[in-house]
Amino acid sequence: MKAYEITNKGGEGALALVDRPKPSPGPGEVLIRVRAASLNYRDLLTIRGRMGAGTKPGLIPLSDGAGEVAEVGSGVTRVRAGDRVAGIFTPGWISGRPRRGVADASLGGGNTDGMLREYALLHESAVVHIPKHFSFEEAATLPCAAVTAWNALVAAGHVAAGETVVVQGTGGVSIFGLQFARMSGARVIATTGSENKMARLRELGAEVINYKTTPDWDKRVMELTDGEGADHILDVGGAGTLAHALQAIRSGGFITVIGLLTGMSGEINPLGILFRAAHVVGIRVGSREMFEDMNRAIESNRMRPVIDRVFQFEEAPAALDYLASGRHFGKICIRV
Ligand SMILES: NC(=O)c1ccc[n+]([C@@H]2O[C@H](COP(=O)([O-])OP(=O)(O)OC[C@H]3O[C@@H](n4cnc5c(N)ncnc54)[C@H](OP(=O)(O)O)[C@@H]3O)[C@@H](O)[C@H]2O)c1
């Protein structure tokens, strides 16, 4: 079978197309014929080598993939050959809170091979059925970005109709956050650094702030909410956005710390959290149970993900360059 491995090309991480033996499922295991995969910002960090020393040589990258069950091992009861499934991001996190260390082992990172390959072997507990109205490309967008947004807004945040949600930028997590917020009847304020993405955000039902021309976007959020602030902020910026989020949150509001797009370290004034009585919560994607709850909501709302572009399997390196360019709106997929 064909697969991509992470290789070192001239000192920089890159993708190498290789042949590997097709695996066979052992007891409790499921062999998936992968039909589509999708990219996340984390894959860029893993492949280009900025995720630290923990990535094994020759790792197959990408957490997100969907396909059909080709074969099952003995004792498998959760799925059957022919079922349409996706792998879950954190194979060991089924429900509840993640036990210490469990959230560290995820597909396409560290020692755990990911989904950029024709066949993937997963334990039956680490797969979910995909929404019935989805293509494989659509289903491949879900395991990381969508589950993260769902966890932040619904599982952890308990978003309610009429609340105001702020999402930052137009990447995978934020566009799912926008869609789930609208699905829940919430008002959405979205930021973007790109003038030409503003119209598309409005089409999806968001009010828009350009964080480049309005660097103090928190002040604009306060204006738009009559001085109250937002109920929820999905913070994907990290060091450069968290202080603004603390200015834009309403009293008792909910900030989820999700991403580090602008850096990992910075100063946070604890008084900001205290005075706003803010809930500041770290998110690490989510459990299988959250994924399944989300899929039910997606099906009953006939919701569809926003896919910017689908690349062919041979074009995987170009897909990664496209992600790095930041030109995308929503998700980038790879057909396998
Ligand atoms: N904790 C978790 O469980 C978890 C899960 C998934 C992702 N993440 C993290 O969340 C972040 C987003 O991931 P993703 O896969 O959605 O990324 P992505 O699809 O690559 O999206 C990146 C987008 O972020 C926007 N952006 C860049 N700098 C920004 C800034 N200063 N302020 C606001 N927006 C900015 C840009 O949108 P515009 O062009 O519109 O400005 C850019 O297109 C990453 O740091 C990722 O590692 C964390």
Q: What is the DSSP string of 85-108?
A: EEE-SSTT--SSSPPTTGGG--TT
Closest residue by CA, ligand 1 atom 37: 169
Domain locations in the chain? Answer: 2-143+286-335, 157-282
Cα of 279 vs centre of ligand 1, distance in Å, is 21
> Read out DSSP for 193-248?
S-GGGHHHHHHTTEEEEETTT-S-HHHHHHHHTTTS-EEEEEE-SGGGTHHHHHHH
| Distance from C-alpha of 282 to C-alpha of 80, rounded to nearest angstrom | 36
**Centre of ligand 1 from the C-alpha of residue 34, in Å:** 26
Q: In sequence order, what are the residues at sequence separation of 6 or more whose Cβ sits closer than 8 angstroms to the Cβ of residue 291?
A: 86, 88, 128, 142, 143, 147, 150
- Which residue type sits at 82? G
Return the SS3 of 156. Answer: coil
pTM score over 0.85: yes
Helix (H) or strand (E) holding 325: helix 316-325
CA of 194 from ligand 1 middle (Å) equals 13
- 87 CA from centroid of ligand 1 (Å): 22
Neighbours of 224 (CB within 10 A): 18
Per-residue model confidence (pLDDT) at position 264: 85
- 270 CA distance to ligand 1 centroid (A)? 25
Name the residue with tokens 């995978």. 172
Task: Give the pLDDT confidence score for residue 103 in this predicted structure.
Answer: 80
**Binding-site residues, ligand 1, Cβ < 6 A:** 40-42, 144-145, 148, 168-174, 191-194, 197, 211, 236-237, 240-241, 258-262, 283-285, 323, 326
CATH code of the domain made up of 2-143+286-335: 3.90.180.10
Query: What six digits make up the tokens of 126?
Result: 């680490």
Q: Whose CA is nearest to atom 19 of ligand 1?
A: 171
In order along its 336 residues, the chain shows pLDDT tens digits of 999 999 987 677 889 999 999 999 999 999 999 999 999 999 999 998 776 567 888 999 999 999 999 999 999 999 999 999 999 999 999 999 988 888 889 999 999 999 999 999 999 999 999 999 999 999 999 999 999 999 999 999 999 999 999 999 999 999 999 999 999 999 999 999 999 999 999 999 999 999 999 999 999 999 999 999 999 999 999 999 999 999 999 999 999 999 999 988 888 889 989 999 999 999 999 999 999 999 999 999 999 999 999 999 999 999 999 999 999 999 999 999
pLDDT of residue 266: 83
Provide the pLDDT for residue 323: 98
pLDDT in the model for residue 309: 98
3-class SS of residue 7: strand
Residue 54 in 3-state DSSP? Answer: coil
Q: Bridge partners of 145?
A: none
**What residue's CA is closest to ligand 1, atom 34?**
169
Nearest atom in ligand 1 to the alpha carbon of residue 193 is: 41
Nearest protein Cα to ligand 1, atom 8: 259
Angle between helices 172-183 and 288-301 (to 10 degrees): 60
Q: What is the pLDDT of residue 208?
A: 98
Q: Match domain 157-282 to its CATH number in 3.40.50.150, 3.40.50.720, 3.40.50.510, 3.10.100.10.
A: 3.40.50.720
Q: Closest ligand 1 atom to the C-alpha of 285?
A: 3
CB distance 78 to 23 below 8 Å: no
pLDDT of residue 51: 66
Residue nearest to atom 44 of ligand 1 (CA): 259
Ligand 1 centre from 124 Cα, in Å? Answer: 31
Helix or strand holding residue 34 (H, E): strand 29-38
